[in-house]
Amino acid sequence: MRVLVVGGGGREHALVWKLAQSPRVERLFCAPGNAGIEMLATCVPIRATDMEGLLELVRREKIDLTVVGPEGPLAAGIVDRWESEGLKIFGPERRAAALEASKVFAKEFLQRHGIPTARAAVFSAPDAARAYVRSLGAPCVVKADGLAAGKGVVVAATVAEAERAIEDMMVRRVFGAAGEKVLIEEKLEGEEASVIALTDGRSVLPLLPAQDHKAVYDGDQGPNTGGMGAYAPAPVVGESTLQRVCQEILEPVVRGLAAEGVVYRGALYAGLMLTKDGPKVLEFNVRFGDPETQPLLYLLQSDLLPALEATREGRLDEVELSWHPGAALCVVLAAAGYPGAARLGDEIQGLEELAAEEEVMVFHAGTKREDGRWLTAGGRVLNVTARGRNLLEARERAYQAVKRLSFAGMHYRRDIGLKALKYLEG
Ligand code: AMP
Ligand code: GLY
Write the CA distances from 33 to 40, 65, 266, 295, 385, integer angstroms: 10, 17, 21, 19, 19
CA distance linking residue 138 with residue 207, whole number of Å: 36
The per-residue pLDDT for range 317-374, each reduced to its tens digit, is: 999 999 999 999 999 999 999 999 999 999 999 999 999 999 999 999 999 999 999 9
Q: What is the pLDDT of residue 426?
A: 77
* Ligand 2 pocket mutation, candidates 196, 212, 283, criterion most atoms within 8 A of CB: 212
Burial class (CB in 10 A: 0-12, 13-18, 19+), 254: buried
Percentage, residues of the chain above pLDDT 70: 100
Distance 131 CA to ligand 2 centre (A): 32
Which residue has the CA at smallest separation from atom 4 of ligand 2? 289
Residue 39 burial (CB count, 10 A): 14
CA distance linking residue 329 with residue 175, whole number of Å: 32
Total length of the chain? 426
Residue 382 has pLDDT above 90, yes or no: yes
Q: What is the pLDDT of residue 35?
A: 98
Residue 204 has pLDDT above 80, yes or no: yes
Ligand 1 atom index nearest CA of 150: 2
- Taking residues 139-168, what's their average pLDDT? 91
CA distance linking residue 14 with residue 291, whole number of Å: 9
Distance 99 CA to ligand 2 centre (A): 14
- Taking residues 264-276, what's their average pLDDT? 98
Going along the chain from its start, the domains and CATH numbers come out as 2-91 (3.40.50.20), 125-180 (3.30.1490.20), 191-318 (3.30.470.20), 327-425 (3.90.600.10)
Percentage, residues of the chain above pLDDT 90: 94
Q: What is the pLDDT of residue 423?
A: 87
Are 252 and 279 a contacting pair, CB within 8 Å? no
Are 153 and 179 a contacting pair, CB within 8 Å? no
The per-residue pLDDT for range 110-131, each reduced to its tens digit, is: 999 999 999 999 999 999 999 9
- In short, whether 150's Cβ falls inside 6 Å of ligand 2 is yes
CA distance linking residue 255 with residue 262, whole number of Å: 9
Distance 103 CA to ligand 1 centre (A): 12
* Ligand 1 pocket mutation, candidates 111, 133, 153, criterion most atoms within 8 A of CB: 153
- Taking residues 125-145, what's their average pLDDT? 93
- Mean model confidence pLDDT for the chain: 96
Q: DSSP secondary structure string, 379-411?
A: SEEEEEEEEESSHHHHHHHHHHHHHT-B-TT-B
* Ligand 1 pocket mutation, candidates 140, 155, 272, criterion most atoms within 8 A of CB: 155
Residue 150 has pLDDT above 80, yes or no: no
Q: What is the pLDDT of residue 152?
A: 87
Q: What is the pLDDT of residue 148?
A: 83
Helix 418-425 / helix 391-403 crossing angle, nearest 10 deg: 150
pLDDT band at 375 (very low <50, low <70, confident <90, very high): very high
Residues in a beta bridge with 395: none
- Taking residues 268-282, what's their average pLDDT? 97
Q: What is the pLDDT of residue 149?
A: 73
Are 223 and 270 a contacting pair, CB within 8 Å? no
- Taking residues 378-399, what's their average pLDDT? 98
Nearest to 8 by CA among 253, 363, 307: 363
pTM: 0.96
CA distance linking residue 193 with residue 282, whole number of Å: 10
pLDDT band at 277 (very low <50, low <70, confident <90, very high): very high
Distance 226 CA to ligand 2 centre (A): 6
